[in-house]
Amino acid sequence: MNTNNMLDESRIGRTFEKSTLSLSRTQFVIVCSAFVANLVFIPSVSHFVRSGTWGGGVAGMSWQLPDPQESILGVSVSSYTLITCHAAAALLLAAALFSQFVLARRGVRSPRLVAVHRAMGPVILCTLLPAFLIFALALSLWVIDTPFNRVMFTLLPVMIVFAIVRALIGLRRGDRDLHADSMFLAFILLEAAPIYRIVMFVFARLGGQVLAPNGEPVDAGALLRTVIVLVVLALGFWSCHRLRRNLLPMAIIAGVLVGALAFLPWSLDGAPA
């Protein structure tokens, strides 16, 4: 038993040695750009602080998300409360994951930073990730009412869990490439939120409607966001010559998208029930 533990610790330790920096420069640039993209939420946060409502304005058009009371497992909760908690949990998780990328990159020069990187792992796994999952799934399963958006928004937290589990497997095996690629996958899926916001901004600038008549976000946002996420993931994995090894999670995402388009009602400028 002690021998196995020593081997496990040795494998985990080798994951962060000098020769084990596995993210390509392109992947790291993508990670940094995706994190900076969270700045697109500043107008919405400012709007919420000023008015207490979630919404915004673009191209001379103002919009506001509805705020119904949702019954979740018999408990009545405001959708605004869920959105606020989800936004806070997602931002904290994104900041923690981004810091892990930075610490791992700089850790090749500082054992102390490597130790901080290792210490943050259980915090992310046991607190930040569960909090994010609870609020993300509450929003996608109870607040979003249209089938296409519900499926595509539920897909994200589920695949983030898949990516984290995959990263832990890589860590356990001492497979630094699998660990790095899986964390890259998890981070880009998490940062699908600012990508979605940018897509909706462009859609509105081109004259499209952000919200359907039923108050739900139009399906175009989730559709185009998923396509962009797949392209970004493919670029990142291709840049480190590991695209083939990471086809499975991309195939799952693409398969769910194709299935939703084939079997669920959807519309680029609407959100049919």
Give the separation between CA 11 and CA 96, rounded to whole angstroms. 23
Q: What is the pLDDT of residue 80?
A: 87
Q: Which of 14, 11, 17, 41 is nearest to 196 (CA)?
A: 41
**Max intra-chain CA distance, the chain:** 66
Residue 64 belongs to some domain of the structure: no
Q: Is residue 148 part of a domain?
A: yes
**How many CB atoms lie under 10 A from the CB of residue 29?**
13
Would residue 81 count as lying in a domain?
yes
CA distance 154 to 140: 5
Asked if the structure places residue 118 within a domain, the reply is: yes
pLDDT recorded at residue 1? 45
Q: Between the CA of residue 225 and those of 33, 67, 196, 200, 241, what are the distances in Å? A: 16, 24, 5, 9, 24
The 3-class SS string of the chain reads: CHHHHHHHHHHHHHCCCHHHCCCCHHHHHHHHHHHHHHHHHHHHHHHHHHHCCCEEEECCEEEECCCCEEEECCEEEEHHHHHHHHHHHHHHHHHHHHHHHHHHHHCCCCHHHHHHHHHHHHHHHHHHHHHHHHHHHHHHHHHCCCHHHHHHHHHHHHHHHHHHHHHHHHHHHCCHHHHHHHHHHHHHHHCHHHHHHHHHHHHHHCCCCCECCCCCECHHHHHHHHHHHHHHHHHHHHHCCCCHHHHHHHHHHHHHHHHHHHHCCCCCCCCCC
**pLDDT for res 213:** 84
Number of domains composing the chain: 1
pLDDT of residue 212: 84
Residue 133's pLDDT is what?
A: 97
Average pLDDT for consecutive 10-residue bins of the chain (273 residues)?
45 43 88 95 85 66 68 85 93 96 71 84 95 95 92 97 96 92 97 93 83 86 96 97 96 98 92 85
Tokens representing 243 are 């695209």
Confirm whether 58 is domain-assigned.
no
Residue 120 is predicted with a pLDDT of 92
pLDDT computed for residue 109 by the predictor: 57
Q: Confirm whether 18 is domain-assigned.
A: no
Rg, the chain, Cα only: 20
Looking at residue 21, its pLDDT comes to 53
Range of the domain at 219: 24-34+69-263
For residue 11, tell me if it sits in a domain: no
Domain contains 10: no
